Amino acid sequence: MSDLLALRVELPPWIAGFRAALPACLETPEQRMEVAIDLSRQNVLAGSGGPFGALVVAEDSGEVVALGVNRVEPGSCSSAHAEIVALSMAQRLAADWNLGRHPAAPLQLVSSCEPCAMCLGAIPWSGVASVLCGATKADAEAAGFDEGDRPDEWMEKMAARGIRVHIGLMRAEAAAVLDLYARSGKTIYGPDSRVAGK
């Protein structure tokens, strides 16, 4: 009965060691993106989810607030995308849904890939002040993922809400993880799930 009263999406066991090995602060955008890409790669290599990683950091100091990886298949949860997991972990740790009130705010969401339609919708309500992305929507779709319908002017719409967006940082490195997953034969999940390469 208790299973009907709770929703849990757990991070994979390797995250604890990964987090322990990180510096307390990631000062540059490149350092932050390298961690997001490393998270995505490790998730693929460990077989613990899809090829996406994300983290929430303090914009100014680079203090690491929370980590996230894609847990769609392990969690049987279509909304367990890396960005949603990272934002949710940050909110849980802060005991506040509005990360704009976090003691280390303003906060930044760093993702190995541009947000899909779902994650894009979650960003404005999360309270982050900026978003940093690696691979693009086109890269994810080239790997076979359905990124959903997203307005062409999404970055302008974020800017109108006071959320700064930068895309394409270390794009080639981030896209390489998507390609690795696509060639692995693992499930490309979405409305019409299929096995990669088939």
Residues 99/114, Cβ–Cβ less than 8 Å: no
Q: Is 83 a catalytic residue?
A: yes
* Residue of 10, 30, 83, 147 marked active site: 83
SS3 call for 100: helix
β strands within the chain, DSSP E: 53-58, 64-69, 107-113, 130-135, 164-166, 187-188, 194-195
Cα–Cα distance, 107 to 62 (Å, whole number): 9
Q: In what order do the strands lie in the sheet with 64-69?
A: 64-69, 53-58, 107-113, 130-135, 164-166
Tallying the residues shown for the chain, one arrives at 198
Active site residues: 83
